Amino acid sequence: MSAAFLHLTSLQALTVFFLLLAVLVADAEGRNHVYGCPSFSCGYLRDVSSPFRRRGDPPGCGVPSYELVCTDAKATIRNLSGTFNVVRISYTDSTFWVVESDWGTQRSCLLPRVRHASEYESVDGSPNRVGTTWRTWAIFVNCSQPMENNGIYKPVACLSTNSSFIYVTTSFRYPRAANFEPSCGYLTTTPLGGPGMMVPENASYPDIVKFMRKGFALRFPISGGIGECLAEWMRKFRKDTEPSNSTGINDRIVEILFIDTRFWVCVCQVLQLYQLTIPPWFIPITIADMWILKFILVLCRFVLMPLTVLMFLAHKYWKTRITIDAVEKFLQMQKMLSPTRYAYTDITAVTRHFSDKLGQGGYGSVYKGVLLPGNIHVAVKMLGNSKCNGEEFISEVATIGRIHHINVVRLVGFCSEEMRRALVYEYMPNGSLDKYIFSSEKSFSWDKLNGIALGIARGISYLHQGCDMQIVHFDIKPHNILLDTNFIPKVADFGLARLCPKDNSFMPMSAARGTIGYIAPEMISRSFGVISAKSDVYSFGMLLLEMVGGRRNADPHAESSSQIYYPSWVYNRLTQPDVGEISGAVDMHELEKKLCIVGLWCIQMRPHGRPTMSEVIEMLEGGADALQMPPRPFFCDDETIPEVASYYLSSELNAIEEEDE
C-alpha cells in the first residue's frame, strides 16, 4: 500500500468516522427501536433477528425485504424471483443459505429456474448493496446439436432429448457462458456454495447436483447497515487510489472527488431499509463538508505536497551549491596565493585583445583585464622587446610572486611564450600616487597623507624583514606606489628588485639602478657607503618629501636658485627661527613637520646615518615633538647646491643611461 494511500485513508477514514457518528446520533431513536425487537424461531432456525422479520412483526423490526414465511418444518423467503428455502443463517459472516423450494430430496436430475445472474445480486431490489459471497457458478446451455470435442461443457443426459441437448459448466467468479458452438444458447445459471465451500472448476454434473442441493449463500446487511456502507466505501477507495497507468492526473482527481458518492447512496438505502429519518439539512451539509475536505485533500496531495517536495529539493540543492561555492572560492583563493602561468591566448582573452589600455611604462604597456570565474579585475603589463625584459621578468616573478602583504601589490600570474611576456597584477582602481601628490589641488588631508606614508613604510619594511629572503626594491617612487579602492598604498613594480640573505649588510652591484631624483648616493659612488636595504630608505625619504610639498625634489622652474633642490629648501625652513609653512601662508602643520623631519632623516648621505624602515615606522607612528632634527645633508649646503646637485644628478643620469645600453 502506497504512502499516498495511507495518507488519504487516515484522513478520510477520520472524516467518515465523525460523519457516521453524526448519523448514528441523529438516528438514535429509530435504532433503539430496531435493537429492541426480540429474536424468534422460524422452522428449524433458532435465534433469528434483524434484518430478518416475520409476517406480523412491528414496522420497525427487521427489513421488509427479508420477511420470512415460517412453518414447523421450514423457513422460506419469496424475494429472489421465486421461493427459496432458508437453510442456515450465519451472523458471524452476515450470510444466509438458500435452496430452491421445489427441489425434492429424492430428485437426482435438477435444473435451476431460468434466470440471469443479476437476479441473484439483490434480495430487496436494491442492487450493489446485498450481493453474493460465492465464487463459482454453474452455467447451463441448450444446444440443438451435440457438442463435439468440447472439454469445457459436460453433458446432462437426464435433461437432454433427441432434439435438445443440455450441457453444464462451472465458471470461477464470472457467471457467463462462452466458448460454445453456434447451435447452442444460454439457458440458465445458479451460484454454488459460499464461504468455506470451494467448488472445483470443470466439475461433472453429478458433483454440481450435490452442491446445488446444499444451496448457496447470500449476504445480508450487517447490524446497523452503516458499517457495511463504510466497508464498501473502503473497498472502492482502495481501488480508486491504487496507481493506474491508464489514467492521467485529471482523471485521478475526478475519481478522488467523487469516491464518496457510493457511500452516501448506500447510507440513504440503509436508512430507508430501516425506515429511519434524519433532518433534511444533514445530507447536504455533510456532503458539502466532505467536498471541502476533498478539495483540501486534493490541494494538499497534488499542489502542496509537490510544492513542499520541490522546496525541500531546492533547499538541498542550494545548500549543496553554497557548500560547493565555498569550496570553489577557497580553491580559487588557494590558487591565487601563488602566481599562475597563463597562455598567451588566455592573456588576449583576459584583456579582450588589449582593448582597455591603462598606461605606458618604461618596460611596456599596461592593460585592464577580467579573470574568470569570479570576475576578478586585473592589470596586465606586457613587457617590451628590450634586453632587460628577461631580467625584469625573472626579478618580478622571483620576488613579488612569494609576497603576500596588504601594502605590497600581488602578482596574480604571468605569461612567457617565446618573446611574449606578461605580468598579471591585482587591479588598483585609483592608480598611482604621483597623480595625486603632484596635482594642482591638495588631494589628501594631513592625516590621510600620514596614513599613506605609514602604509608605504610598512610595505618596504616587510620586503626587508618579513620574507625568507631580504628583498631590496631599488625603485621606490610615487609612480610605483599604487592605491586601491580605499586608497591603501601598495608597493609595485619589482623589475629592479634583488634578493639577498637577511644577514648580508651589503649587496654586490655592478651598475647603478633606480630613477633620477630617488636613487641613493652609494648607488653612484661606493665612497658614500655600501649598497644595502638603506638604499630603499633613501628613496622613501625623497618620496616622503615630495608627498609633503606636492612638488618634485629637483625643480628647474623654482623662483630662486636656493629652491631648486627641494630638500635643502625644506631643511632651511625647518631650522630658521621663524619656522613657517612650506607651500602656504599659514604655520606649518604638526604632521607636515613630522613628515619633513622623517624624510630628512632618510636622505642622509651616508647609509649608516639613515634609520631602518622599522625605525621609520616608529617615527611615523609617534609625534613630531619627540623627533630631533637630523644633521644637514651634504647636498643641502647652500654654497654647493648648484654644483653638487648638478654633478650628482648628471652622474645619476649617465649611470642609468649606461645601464640601459
Q: Which of 338, 488, 493, 469 lies closest to 406 in space, CA to CA?
A: 488
Please give the grid coordinates belonging to residue 499.
Answer: 634578493
When mean pLDDT is compared across 301-305, 415-419, 479-483, 564-568, the lowest value belongs to 564-568
pLDDT score, position 534:
92
pLDDT tens digits, 597-622: 999 999 999 999 999 999 999 999 98
- More confident position, 490 or 216: 490
Most confident of 32-46, 142-156, 322-336: 142-156
pLDDT-derived band at 218, boundaries 50, 70, 90? confident
Report the C-alpha gap between 445 and 451 in whole angstroms. 10
What was the pLDDT predicted at 214? Answer: 86
Model confidence band, residue 498 (pLDDT cutoffs 50, 70, 90): confident
Of 124, 260, 475, 536, the active-site residue reads: 475
Give the E-state strand segments of 470-567 in sequence order.
470-472, 481-483, 489-491, 498-500
Render pLDDT for 449-460 as a digit per residue (tens, 0 to 9).
Answer: 999 999 999 999
- pLDDT computed for residue 417 by the predictor: 87
**Is the pLDDT reported for residue 280 higher than 70?**
no
Coil vs helix vs strand at 155:
strand
Q: What is the pLDDT of residues 284-331, one digit of tens each?
A: 777 777 778 778 877 887 788 888 888 988 888 887 777 666 666 666
Tens of pLDDT, residue by residue over 103-125, are 766 677 888 887 766 667 655 44
- Annotated binding residues: 381
Half-sphere exposure of 499 (CA within 13 A, CB side): 16
Q: Is 93 a catalytic residue?
A: no
Q: What is the pLDDT of residues 521-569, one digit of tens each?
A: 988 888 888 888 999 999 999 999 999 887 776 555 555 444 556 788 7
Outline where 27-107 has alpha helix (H).
28-35
User: Which residues have CB under 8 Å from 350's CB, separation 6+?
Assistant: 342, 369, 370, 371, 378, 380, 424
Which of 28-32, 256-260, 395-399, 413-417 has the largest mean confidence? 413-417
State the chain's mean pLDDT as an integer.
75
Top mean-pLDDT range of 4-13, 61-70, 237-246:
61-70
pLDDT score of 587 more than 60:
yes
Cα–Cα distances in angstroms (integers) from residue 236 to residues 15, 143, 225, 256, 299, in the given order: 16, 40, 17, 10, 21
Mean pLDDT (whole number) for 340-345: 90
Percentages (nearest 5) of helix, strand, coil residues in the chain: 45, 15, 40
Numbered residues of the known binding site for ATP? 381
> Residue written as cell 457510493?
262
